[in-house]
Structure 1
Amino acid sequence: MARTRIISGLVGLVLLIGVLYMGSIVLGIAVSIIAAIGLYEFYNSISKTKGIHPIKIVGYLSIVPLLLLGLEKTGWYSLDLGTMTGMSVCLIIFVSMAVIVFGHKKYNIVDVCATAFGIAYIPFLMSFLIMLRNMEYGNILIWLIFIGAWGTDTLAYTFGRLFGKRKIIPEISPKKTLAGAIGGILGCIFLMIVFGVIVRNYFGLSISYVALILLGLLCGTISQIGDWAASAIKRYVNVKDFGNIMPGHGGVLDRFDSILFVAPVIYYVLVLFIK
């Protein structure tokens, strides 16, 4: 299992580097595909709970604005992000409500809420990867997302194995310890500072140490909350993994649960601190 997990992880890393290297358009398409798979995993998982029937077609339609955002760099059209977001939200509400009116024998307001949560949780939060990539220096800054999420996860695991004794929330995530959580946060701050030094020296991009420390603190915290939140959902619907698309890692959501929380945090901190 460990060997499978390592090989799968290396393959995923190579694909990630390739996608990021090929530019924002390829990233936009890739993120849209990942979001669609993530929605499929999420809806299938919560459907195992008696009485919940997400309106899947509405969820999958929410991928369209994400794809449009990703393909904007083609130059074929220009989007006003605020207008597109507002129109998308209104359309999703209208269609969802129409479904429970004309399909009331199958769907109800609980199903609409489950559908809307899936859209907010996956396509909406994933859109921040594309928005960050479309920023100036986005090809460099986007790595902050993966450092903040997977760097925290790796260091939290390492510190937990070495020093972890006191459990945090064993009923949700039995292996997570206080030492691991603190190590993940401190490790994330360290990685952010290292990143800042590298991009300043090699790419001429200056990010203040205040911003880097803030990013490390916030990402190190919110990344772990994202992981625990996904674990809480899986425990509630009684599944071990959301999927099995990545051998040894589970599904898309199992690998991207922290990414979903970290991406908007990094985007907004950079918007505030980088002019």
Structure 2
Amino acid sequence: MTRLGKRTLIGIIFVPILLFIYYLGGLTLQIFVSLLTILGVREFVIILKKKGINIHFIPVLVASLIINWFMYFFNFNNIIFLYIGFCILIISYDIFSNNINQASERAAYSMFILIYIPLLLEFIYLLRQLENGRFLLIFLVILVWITDTGAYFVGVKCGKHSNIFKSSKKKSVEGFIGGFVTAFIFTYIGAILIYQIWNFRFSWNDIFAYTVIVGIFGQVGDLMESILKRDFNIKDFSNLLSEHGGILDRFDSIMTSAPLLYCYFTIIR
């Protein structure tokens, strides 16, 4: 089977499952987010180990899951104090370790993991729990997929300026702009369809927010992931999803879009 065939088959199998989990929300979605956290932390730790940096996997994983479930029970309140506490504990862990080499690298990567993986992923659940969160989350996920596809095809057909984004030689300015335009077009079309079918209205401010967050910051999330992969000299974080890469490869845009969209609907709107 060709690479495109494998990607398509995996998409056909997993997309309906993902959308159903997002539709259900609640505890089912929270357990799913925790599973993503476990797999994401594992991917990151394995890559670090290949680079010669051995962080304390179990303490970081336990702290990550506690962050997940703390946000599940108490929302986003006081999470900064929990995070600071975990950072101190993880750094202090080396006091009792026989290996103090690379202590600063372990501490830095551990603190980064606690923000990048459990904290950002948990906003998938928090966004779903908002009023009309079912529409907000599913619309976001579909829009991210469509934007990524639009950016890819515009980049392939029209991409000429690929030296701007140093993090990824495959990303072109034309592809980035194509992704943004795709985000706007399908946000507008999606808003009309959602109103006609479910009588849920998106304002022009909502359409603008989705366009900017997905069309710009969603793609920035993908570029951020590319920076990490270039630093680690890898193509993907894992082959868990075959041609789609690993969990961190597939959820990079969601991990930057969901927190910003949550902030928009809870603070700005």
TM-score, normalised relative to structure 2? 0.91
Q: State the shift of 1:206 in Å.
A: 2.2
> Quick check: 1:227–1:258 contact (8 Å CA) kept in 2?
yes
Deviation digits for residues 78-135 of structure 1 (CA, Å, limit 9, x no counterpart)? x36413x144213312321221222262461221110110110111001111111111
Gaps of 5+ in 2: none
Question: Counterpart of 1:82 in 2: which secondary structure?
Answer: coil
> Quick check: 2:22–2:138 contact (8 Å CA) kept in 1?
no
Q: Distance in 1 between matches of 2:185 and 2:60?
A: 38
> Quick check: 1:193–1:213 contact (8 Å CA) kept in 2?
no
What does residue 260 of structure 2 align with?
Answer: 265
**1:12 maps to 2:6:** no
Question: Counterpart of 1:248 in 2: which secondary structure?
Answer: helix
> What amino acid is aligned across from residue 125 of structure 2 in structure 1?
I
In the TM superposition, structure 1's runs of 4+ consecutive aligned residues that sit over 4 Å from their partners are: none
The within-5 A match list for 1:118-129 is: 118-129=113-124
TM-score, normalised relative to structure 1? 0.89
**1:40 maps to 2:42:** yes
**1:56 maps to 2:50:** no
**1:23 maps to 2:38:** no
How many residues are paired up?
Answer: 265
> Quick check: 2:75–2:126 contact (8 Å CA) kept in 1?
no
Q: State the shift of 1:169 in Å.
A: 4.0
Q: State the shift of 1:243 in Å.
A: 0.6
Q: Distance in 2 between matches of 1:192 and 1:251?
A: 27
Query: Would the alpha carbon gap of residues 108 and 129 (structure 1) be closer, same or farther in structure 2, given more than 3 Å must change?
Result: same
Question: Counterpart of 2:131 in 1: which secondary structure?
Answer: coil
What does residue 88 of structure 2 align with?
Answer: 94
The range that moved more, 141-150 or 125-134, is 141-150
Q: Distance in 1 between matches of 2:235 and 2:217?
A: 22
Q: Distance in 1 between matches of 2:159 and 2:87?
A: 45
What does residue 222 of structure 1 align with?
Answer: 217
Query: Would the alpha carbon gap of residues 22 and 116 (structure 1) be closer, same or farther in structure 2, given more than 3 Å must change?
Result: same
* Corresponding residue to 1:255 among 231, 250, 254: 250
> Quick check: 2:33–2:121 contact (8 Å CA) kept in 1?
yes
> Quick check: 1:224–1:258 contact (8 Å CA) kept in 2?
yes
* Corresponding residue to 2:160 among 148, 162, 165: 165
Q: State the shift of 1:67 in Å.
A: 3.3
**1:130 maps to 2:115:** no
> What amino acid is aligned across from residue 53 of structure 1 in structure 2?
N
Gaps of 5+ in 1: 73-78
Query: Would the alpha carbon gap of residues 80 and 216 (structure 1) be closer, same or farther in structure 2, given more than 3 Å must change?
Result: closer
Question: Counterpart of 1:47 in 2: which secondary structure?
Answer: helix
Question: Counterpart of 1:195 in 2: which secondary structure?
Answer: helix
> What amino acid is aligned across from residue 105 of structure 1 in structure 2?
N
Deviation digits for residues 214-255 of structure 1 (CA, Å, limit 9, x no counterpart)? 320232111111111111111111122101110211111111
The range that moved more, 171-180 or 115-124, is 171-180
Q: Distance in 2 between matches of 1:270 and 1:198?
A: 20
Q: State the shift of 1:260 in Å.
A: 0.8
Query: Would the alpha carbon gap of residues 93 and 171 (structure 1) be closer, same or farther in structure 2, given more than 3 Å must change?
Result: closer
Q: Distance in 1 between matches of 2:150 and 2:65?
A: 33
> What amino acid is aligned across from residue 40 of structure 1 in structure 2?
R
Q: Distance in 1 between matches of 2:75 and 2:224?
A: 32
